[in-house]
Amino acid sequence: MADLAISAHGLGKRYRLGRLESGFRRVRRIVSRQAGPGHLWALRDLSFDVPEGESLAIVGSNGAGKSTLLKILARITEPTTGYVDVAGRVAALVEVGTGFNPELTGRENIYLNGTLLGMTRKEIDLRLDEIVAFAGVEQHLDKPVKWYSSGMYVRLGFAVAAHLEPDILIVDEVLSVGDLAFQQKCLGRMGEVAEGGRTVLFVSHNLAAVSALCPNAMYLRNGEITARGPTREVVDRYVDDVKSTAHVNVRSRLDRQGDGRLRFTEVRVGDGSVTTGDDCEISMLYEGTPGPGRVRVGFAVYGALVEPIFQCLNETSGDVIAELAADGAFTCTIPRLPLAPGHYTISIYCEVDGKVADWVEHAAVLEVVEGDFYGTGRLPSDAHGNIYVDQTWRSEPATVTPIHLGRSAL
C-alpha cells in the first residue's frame, strides 16, 4: 500500500450565517427574545485518505463543501472539528495571478506572486527563464503589468503557479479562465504534475476534464462524502443525483441560494415535454414581493454529464424587466428549440438590483422529444454534439481565391 499524502479524520467546518450584528440590533433581539443567527455545517465528519501520487477529482454541486474542503487543505481557513494530516508542501490554485499588482513589472509580480505561493527567491531565480518562456512575455518582462493584455496577465499568473513544485497540488476551477488553447495547456501541465508522481486534487464542474485527468473521484453532497472510488462510477452517481434532484418539487428544495426576496415555486416546460425544432416556452413561477428594481433572470441548460450547454438571460437578450408583480412568472420563449432529443436539467436564477434573490441548481428536467428541426425529416446523430444550428451549403471551383490571396499578401 502506498504512503498516504492526505488523511482526514472527522473533518467538519461550521459557518455562522448572516452578518455580524450591530450592538443595537443585538440588544433589540435579546429583548424581544428572538433566536440569534444560526449556523451552517459546510462540512460534516469527513474522513478520507489520499495515497501519495493519486489524482483525485472532487465533484459536487455548488454549496456541497468542495471549496471549503480545499480551503482547509490549503490552510486558508481552519476546520471546526477533526483534523487532517498532510505530507509535504501544498500549493492551492484557487485563482490565477493572486496578488498581482498592476503597478509592478512582470518580473516583480513573478517574485511577489511566487513568494506568496510559498517559493523562495532562490527557487524563483532558478525557474525565472522557464516561467517567462511558458507565459511568452519575454518582451514585456520589465513593463508594469497594467500594460499587459488580459491574456498575457492570465498566462503569467498560471506560469508562476505551474512552476511551483509542491508535493500536493490543489486546483480549483482555475481552468475556467483563458481561451481554449490556454485551458489545454493548463490541463496538460496538470497531467505532467500528476505523472511526476505528485498528488493532485482537482475540483471542477467540468466532468469531461475530470474524467480525463483523474482516475479516482470523491463526490460531496451537503458537506458529506457520498461516493469515493473510480471516477466513472462516482461521476455516474453524481449525474444520477442531479437528475433525481431535478425531479424534486422546486418549492420544497432547501439547497438554494439568495436572499429570498422572491422564491421560485415551479418550472413549467411546454406541456411537460418539448419537441426539437418547435417553439418552446419555459415558465418560472415565483412567490414574493420583490418590489421595484432591475431584474436579471435566466436559466442554464445542462446535458447528460452535467455539462453546461447554453443559457438564457433577459439581460443579454435585451428584455428589460424593471418591475415585478407579487407572485408571478417569468416566461422565456425559445423559437425552434435547437436541442437534440434527450433529458436535460435546468438551473434557474434571479437577481434583483444586483443581489441574488433565488438560485436553484438543477431545478427541473427538460425532456426534449424528437422533432423535425431542419424540416428535412432528418437529424444528425448525437455523437458529435447535441445542439443544432441553421446552415447552408454550397460548392465552388477552387480557381478564384488563390490569385486574390496572392495579391493581398504583397
Partner 1 sequence: MQAAESQAVAPAPVAAHPHGVRRIQPSSWFVPIDGRELWRYRELLRFIVLRDVKSRYRQTYLGPSWAILRPLVTLVIFSAIFGGLAGITPGKGVDIPYALWVTPAVVVFTYVSTALTNTASSLVINSHLITKVYFPRLFIPLSTALTPVVDFLLGLLVLGGVFAYYDRTPSWHIVFLPAFMALMVLVTAGIGLWLAAFSARYRDVVFGAPFLVQIWQYATPVIYPVAFIPSTYRWLLDFNPLTAVVEGFRWSLLGLPFGSFTTLAASIGIGLVASASGLFAFRRTERLMVDML
Cβ(58)–Cβ(202) below 8 Å: yes
Least Cβ distance, residue 332 to partner 1 (angstroms): 35
The CA-CA-CA angle for residues 267, 273, 277, to 5°, reads 115
Least Cβ distance, residue 229 to partner 1 (angstroms): 3
State the CB neighbour count (10 A cutoff) for residue 71: 20
Cα separation, 362 vs 237, whole angstroms: 15
Residues 6+ apart with CB under 8 A from 150: none
Least Cβ distance, residue 87 to partner 1 (angstroms): 4
State the CB neighbour count (10 A cutoff) for residue 56: 24
Of 99 and 292, CB closest to partner 1: 99
Of 64 and 250, CB closest to partner 1: 64
Of 137 and 234, CB closest to partner 1: 234
Least Cβ distance, residue 166 to partner 1 (angstroms): 9
> Amino acid identity, residue 226?
T
Least Cβ distance, residue 85 to partner 1 (angstroms): 4
Least Cβ distance, residue 386 to partner 1 (angstroms): 29
Least Cβ distance, residue 285 to partner 1 (angstroms): 36
Of 73 and 203, CB closest to partner 1: 73
H/E segment holding residue 129: helix 121-135
Of 227 and 366, CB closest to partner 1: 227
Of 109 and 347, CB closest to partner 1: 109
Cβ(225)–Cβ(218) below 8 Å: yes
The CA-CA-CA angle for residues 280, 284, 290, to 5°, reads 145
Cα separation, 178 vs 128, whole angstroms: 22
Q: Reduced to 3 states, what is the DSSP secondary structure of residue 351?
A: strand
Q: What is the DSSP string of 164-193?
A: ---SEEEEESGGGSS-HHHHHHHHHHHHHH
Cell of 3: 504512503
Least Cβ distance, residue 259 to partner 1 (angstroms): 20
**Measured between alpha carbons, how far is residue 54 from residues 3, 4, 47, 185, 250 in Å?**
11, 9, 17, 21, 38
Of 236 and 278, CB closest to partner 1: 236
Of 168 and 262, CB closest to partner 1: 168
Cell of 115: 513568494
The crossing angle, in degrees rounded to 10, of helices 150-162 and 180-195 is 0
Of 117 and 200, CB closest to partner 1: 117
In angstroms, what is the C-alpha Rg of the chain? 25
Q: Which residues make up the interface to partner 1 (CB under 8 A)? A: 1, 3-7, 9, 15-16, 20, 46-49, 52, 71-89, 92, 94-95, 98-99, 101-104, 108, 111-112, 115-118, 120-121, 167, 224-230, 233-234
**Measured between alpha carbons, how far is residue 394 from residues 131, 373, 391, 397 in Å?**
47, 20, 10, 10
Q: 136: closest CA among 123, 149, 121?
A: 149
Least Cβ distance, residue 196 to partner 1 (angstroms): 15
Least Cβ distance, residue 37 to partner 1 (angstroms): 13
Of 153 and 299, CB closest to partner 1: 153
State the CB neighbour count (10 A cutoff) for residue 116: 12
For 117, half-sphere exposure in the C-beta direction (CA atoms, 13 angstrom radius) is 30
